[in-house]
Structure 1
Amino acid sequence: MMYLRCHVGRELFSVCHFRSHVFYSTATKLSPVDEPTSAKRTEFVDYLINTLGFSKESAISSSSKVRRLNTTRNCDSAVRILKNCGFDNAQIKDIVAWVPKVLLYRANETLEPKIKVFLELGLSRPDLIGLLKRNPSLFELGLHSRIIPTIDYLRIVLGTDEKVVETINRSRWLFSTSVALKMFSDNVTLLQSYGFSNEQIGKFVHRNAMHFTQPPDWLTGKLNWIEGKVGVSRDSNEFFRCFHAIASSSITGMEKKMEVYKSFGFSDTELSSLFKNQPYCFALSEDTIRNKLSFFMNELGYTPSYLVTCPSLFSLSLEKRVKPRNKVLEILKERMLVESKSLITLVNYPELRFQDFLRRFEDKIPSLYETYISSMR
Structure 2
Amino acid sequence: MFILRHHLRRELFSIYHHKSQISYSTSTKSSSIDQSTTAIRTEFINYLINTLNFTTESAISSSSKVRRLTTTRYCDSVIHILKNNGFNDSQIKDIVAWIPRVLLYKPNETLEPKIRVFLNLGLTNLDLLRLIKRNPSLFELGLHSRIVPTIDYLRMLVGTDEKVIDIINRSRWLFSTSVALKFYAGNVMLLKSYGFSDEQIGKFVHRNAMHFAQPSKWLTSKLDWVECKMGVSRESNEFFRCFNAIASNSVVNMERKMEVYKRFGFNDTELSMLFKNQPHCFALSEDTIREKLRFYMDEVGYTSGYLVTCPSLFSLSLEKRVKPRNEVLKILKERMLLGSKSLITLVNYPELRFQDYLRGFEDEIPGLYETYVSRRR
Fold similarity call, TM over 0.5: yes
Structure of greater relative contact order (alpha carbons < 8 Å, 6+ residues apart): 1
Q: Which amino acid aligns with 1:283?
A: A
Q: CA offsets, 1:172-197, max 9 Å, x none?
A: 01000112222122111111111111
Instruction: Quote the residue 1:256 is aligned against.
Output: 256
CA–CA distance in 2 between the matches of 1:70 and 1:199? 51
SS at match of 1:114: helix
Amino acid at match of 2:129: I
1:60 maps to a residue whose letter is: I
Change in 2 beyond 3 A, CA 1:140/1:333: same
Report the counterpart of residue 120 of structure 2 in structure 1.
120
Q: Which amino acid aligns with 1:290?
A: R
For the pair 1:371 / 2:375, whether they are aligned, the reply is no
Matched to 1:117, the amino acid is V
For the pair 1:80 / 2:80, whether they are aligned, the reply is yes
Counterpart Cα distance in 2 of 1:119 and 1:287: 43
3-state SS in 1 of match to 2:341: coil
1:263-302 alignment to 2 at 5 Å?
Answer: 263-302=263-302
Unaligned residue ranges in structure 2 (runs of 5+): 1-32
The 5 Å alignment of 1:233-244 reads 233-244=233-244
Q: Which moved more, 1:132-141 or 1:57-66?
A: 57-66
For the residues of structure 2 that align with 1:282 and 1:145, how far apart are their CA atoms?
40
Residues of 2 paired with 1:125 and 1:195: CA distance?
A: 39
Residue in structure 1 matched with residue 319 of structure 2 by the alignment: 319
The one-letter code matched in structure 2 to 1:65 is K
For 1:87-166, what aligned pairs fall within 5 Å after superposition? 87-166=87-166
- Say which SS state the counterpart of residue 276 (structure 2) adopts: helix
1:306 is matched with 306
Over residues 33-58 of structure 1, what are the superposed CA-to-partner deviations in whole Å (9 max), with x where a residue is unaligned? 99981111110011111112212122
Code of the residue aligned with 1:79 in structure 2: it is I
SS in 2 for 1:66: coil
Counterpart Cα distance in 1 of 2:154 and 2:35 = 39
Distance across 2 between alignment mates of 1:144 and 1:109:
13
| 1:74–1:104 CA contact under 8 A, matched in 2 | yes
- Tell me the amino acid that sits aligned with residue 73 of structure 1: R
User: What is aligned with 2:14?
Assistant: none
Distance 1:300 1:159 in 2: 48
How do 1:200-219 residues align onto structure 2 when only pairs under 5 Å count?
A: 200-219=200-219
**1:71-105, CA deviations, whole angstroms, 9 ceiling, x for partnerless residues?**
00111111111122222222211111111111111
**1:39 and 2:39 correspond:** yes
Indicate how the Cα distance of structure 1 residues 144 and 55 shifts in structure 2: closer, same or farther if over 3 A, else same: same
| Equivalent pair of 1:188/1:201 in contact (CA under 8 Å) | yes
Instruction: Tell me the CA shift for residue 370 of structure 1.
Output: 3.2
- Equivalent positions of 1:17-36 (< 5 A) are none
Deviation of 1:143 (Å):
0.8
Map 1:194-205 → 2, pairs under 5 A: 194-205=194-205
Match of 1:4 in 2: none
| 1:129 counterpart letter in structure 2 | L
Cα distance in 2, alignment partners of residues 34 and 168 from structure 1: 42
- Rounded Cα–Cα distance in structure 1 between residues aligned with 2:376 and 2:89: 47
More helix by share: 2
Specify the code of the residue in structure 2 equivalent to 1:148: V
Is the Cα contact below 8 Å between 1:36 and 1:69 reproduced in 2? no
Contact 1:34 1:68 in 2 (8 A): no
Is 2:343 the counterpart of 1:343?
A: yes
User: How far did 1:276 drift?
Assistant: 0.9
Runs of 4 or more above 6 Å deviation: 33-36
SS in 1 for 2:179: helix
- Alpha-carbon separation, structure 2, partners of 1:67 and 1:266: 59
- Preserved CA contact (<8 Å) 1:44 1:72: yes
* CA displacement 1:270-289 (0-9 Å, x = unmatched): 11111111111011122221
Match of 1:15 in 2: none
Counterparts of 2:164 and 2:49 in 1: how far apart (Å)? 37
Distance 1:143 1:311 in 2: 48
Q: CA deviation at 1:64?
A: 1.3
Structure 1: runs of 5+ lacking an equivalent: 1-32
Q: Bigger CA drift: 58-67 or 224-233?
A: 58-67
SS at match of 1:129: helix
- Which amino acid is 2:316 matched to? L
Calculate percent identity across the aligned residue pairs. Answer: 76
SS of the aligned residue for 1:81 comes to helix
Quickly say closer, same or farther: Cα 1:346–1:269, change in 2 above 3 A.
Answer: same
Distance of 1:87 and 1:304 partners within structure 2: 56
**Structure 1 stretch 318-327 or stretch 363-372: which is displaced more?**
363-372
SS in 1 for 2:66: coil
Q: What amino acid is aligned across from residue 277 of structure 2 in structure 1?
A: N
- Pairing 1:231–2:231 present: yes
Q: How many residues align?
A: 345
* Other-structure match for 1:20: none
> Partner of 1:54: helix, strand, or coil?
coil
What CA distance in whole angstroms lies between the structure 2 residues aligned with 1:76 and 1:295? Answer: 63
Q: 1 CA distance for matches of 2:102 and 2:285?
A: 43
Partner of 2:63: 63
Q: How much is the aligned-residue C-alpha RMSD, in angstroms? A: 1.6
What is the rounded CA distance, in whole Å, between the counterparts of 1:36 and 1:89 in structure 2? 30
